[in-house]
Amino acid sequence: MNQIEQVTTWIDAAQQKPSVRNVANYLAYTMSELGECLHAVDDIAFGMLANRLESFSESLRNGTYNDEIALANRTELLDGAIDTAWCAIGLAHMLGDAQGAFAEVAASNHSKFENGVCELDATGKVVKGPSYFKPDLAKFLRPA
């Protein structure tokens, strides 16, 4: 199974069906993860941008922009999503073993499930279950 199939299979197992709400949620998750990258850089400007992204991400997850998402240009959203994935893989490759790190994160994400079932919070995000473990990514880093 390739990486895209692994992600879509996980999403299907989480019963996250295509909808305006879930498009908004995944756009929010993308912003939140970019914020995590920005926080990794010890600089006030990066931190301020990360905080703004995370605040907007929360508004998206809470449904504030569902009407705007419903009217969005879906072709451009798809283009941006694929370009973002491409760039994220490029960044991961620059930092280390992207395939190994992906497998580690996939295992961590699957650890949120108990007996093939997961819990969703009020916004539809998968909640970390009792067997959740944080991925150990340090072992996949290239020397700086």
| CA atoms lying within 13 Å on the CB side of residue 139 | 9
Q: In this predicted model, what pLDDT tens digit does every residue of 21-61 receive, in sequence order?
A: 999 999 999 999 999 999 999 999 999 999 999 999 999 99
pLDDT of residue 116: 87
- For 117, phi then psi, to 5°, come to -125, 140
**Any idea where the domains of the chain sit in the sequence?**
3-140
Euclidean distance between CA atoms 38 and 45, whole angstroms: 9
Residue count (the chain): 144
Contact present, 135 and 107 (Cβ < 8 Å) = yes
Residue type, 34: L
pLDDT at position 19 over 90: yes
Q: Which two tokens stand for residue 57?
A: 């991400």
- What is residue 66's DSSP assignment? H
**Mean local confidence (pLDDT), 66-87:** 98
Which DSSP symbol is given to 141?
B
pLDDT at 110: 94
Give, in order, the Cα–Cα distances in Å from 67 to each of 17, 21, 50.
18, 10, 24
pLDDT of residue 134: 96
Q: How far is CA 73 from CA 22, 40, 61, in A?
A: 16, 32, 19
Confidence class for position 144, pLDDT limits 50, 70, 90: confident
pLDDT grade for 97, boundaries at 50, 70 and 90: very high
